[in-house]
Amino acid sequence: MAKAKIWISRLISYLLLATLLFMAFVVISSKASGGEPSILGYQLKTVLSGSMEPGIKTGSIIAIKPGGDMARFQTGDVITFMDGPDRLITHRVEEVKGEGKQIQYITKGDNNDAADPTPVLSENVVGEYKGLTIPFIGYGMNFAQSKEGAALLLVLPGALLLIYSGFTIWKAIREVEATKKNEMPPVNN
């Protein structure tokens, strides 16, 4: 029974520490990149609309491969592009117009009835969606990018780790005191 308690205690400590380190990585990498984190050369983007459902659910995160020749995409490819200074959209290429550096893409969300009203210039493409989607995590990542979210996601696991450590130390001291009390000879007056 004692070994099981020690094992559970260590497991909880490791899980809290891993959570703290993961949250620190997510927050720091998202702040350092000026947006969403990058892992193994893929950028993680949050999907906050249903235009690509059912393939990409609202609230998911997706992995896109940035860089390369942005004039390489063909009909059927899914691309992420800038639609204004602070707005990214991920839609499927419906048609490719132009040649060389003058490529434009006609895009459409899979769940939309019509193509997007404005063609996408190849220079506005950020990357290509590579098929990796993790549902519902996008809401958390979106929250983590806010100042409040970043603070909470760094402070909360650290606070939980400190509280748990304090509880473990208090419990150990109590056990040592109980052992000393049982080992002391009785005092005769």
Active site residues: 49
Q: What is the DSSP string of the chain?
A: -HHHHHHHHHHHHHHHHHHHHHHHHHHHHHHHTTSS-EETTEEEEE--SSTTTTTS-TT-EEEEEE-S-TT---TT-EEEEESSTT-EEEEEEEEEES-GGG-EEEEE-TT-SS--SSPEEGGGEEEEEEEEEETTHHHHHHHHTSHHHHHHHHHHHHHHHHHHHHHHHHHHHHHHHHHHHHHSPPPP-
Determine how many CB atoms are found less than 10 A away from the CB of residue 81.
Answer: 22
> Measuring CA to CA, how many Å separate 169 from each of 7, 8, 72, 113?
16, 15, 60, 61
User: 133: how many CB neighbours lie within 10 A of its CB?
Assistant: 17
